[in-house]
Amino acid sequence: MDLSLEGQRALVTGANSGIGEGVAKALAAAGAKVVVNWVSGEERAEAVVAEIAAAGGTAMAIRADVSKEDQVQAMFRRMIEAWGSIDILVNNAGLQRDFAFHEMPLADWRLVLDVNLTGQFLCSREAIREFLRRGPAPELSAALGKIVCMSSVHDLIPWAGHVNYAASKGGVMLMMKSLAQEYASRRIRVNSVCPGAIKTPINHEAWATPEAETSLLRLIPYKRVGVVEDIGKATVFLASDASDYMTGVNLYVDGGMTLYPGFDMGG
Ligand code: BGC
């Protein structure tokens, strides 16, 4: 199975923490050069770059707010100047701003949609423009380019108290599938990884104490909270030629969270 990303150039948004950091390291371990995008937390971004280099890989940090068109375009220009092109985009940057719906400020609705959905639009558009400009590179990959969108089980599972977040991920699903349909004939593959509960800072409260973790495990048939390496492996697969015949797919990596766990006892 061809999981090698040797010689390919990847950009991972929000790569200085959590799932993004894990994905950046997994892509680098598979042979890709990786742009570690960040918006706040420069030290951590530089630490991820240094850790990738110490493991024998190549990475560089670029600051950009993915919800700002000029910053996204400047980031792509820098990457392409430095490394010639891009082969893999991982749209990972995302955040939560949780409120009861009737108390949700418009600003927090907008922030979540701007980063989680518009950010994926802006980065995907730049990546696709560059894939089309560059043309095929069969010595690197069978596809013209690959986009992996970081979605969530909450593109499917409704989530009370997190309506902005669930709406953004539902949007990612049909953005991803429509893009996949639009560009399949140009050999650009677009897929999503949909993580369940993965131990990262975004959901720290949900697993930080033994009581919280026990309660979280009720939602996970596989009875283990995920780790970023679970998502890194799935992302390498979707970015590699091992998945060359896959496009427009939502790959749930969730220990069974989307299997309606309450129904194992009846219904
Ligand atoms: C959210 C996490 C949550 C997980 C499962 C993710 O998309 O960001 O906070 O733990 O879904 O509910």
| Top-level class of domain 9-253 | alpha beta
pTM: 0.98
Nearest CA to ligand 1 atom 9: 203
What is the residue type of 63? Answer: R
- The kind and range of the H/E element at 42 are helix 42-54
Among 267, 235, 29, 252, residue whose Cα is nearest residue 147 = 235
Q: How far is CA 72 from CA 4, 23, 39, 166, in A?
A: 27, 20, 11, 24
Alpha-carbon distance of 36 to 24, in angstroms, equals 7
The tens place of each residue's pLDDT in the chain, 267 residues long, gives: 799 999 999 999 999 999 999 999 999 999 999 999 999 999 999 999 999 999 999 999 999 999 999 999 999 999 999 999 999 999 999 999 999 999 999 999 999 999 999 999 999 999 999 999 999 999 999 999 999 999 999 999 999 999 999 999 999 999 999 999 999 999 999 999 999 999 999 999 999 999 999 999 999 999 999 999 999 999 999 999 999 999 999 999 999 999 999 898 888
Alpha-carbon distance of 222 to 261, in angstroms, equals 10
Compute how many other C-beta atoms are within 10 angstroms of the C-beta atom of residue 164.
22
Find tokens 């970081």 and name the residue: 150
Nearest CA to ligand 1 atom 7: 152
Query: Which of 116, 193, 203, 219 for a ligand 1 pocket mutation test, highest count of atoms within 8 Å of Cβ?
Result: 203
Active site residue ranges: 165
According to DSSP, residue 17 is labeled S
What is the residue type of 92? Answer: N
* CB-side neighbour CA atoms (13 Å) of 175: 25
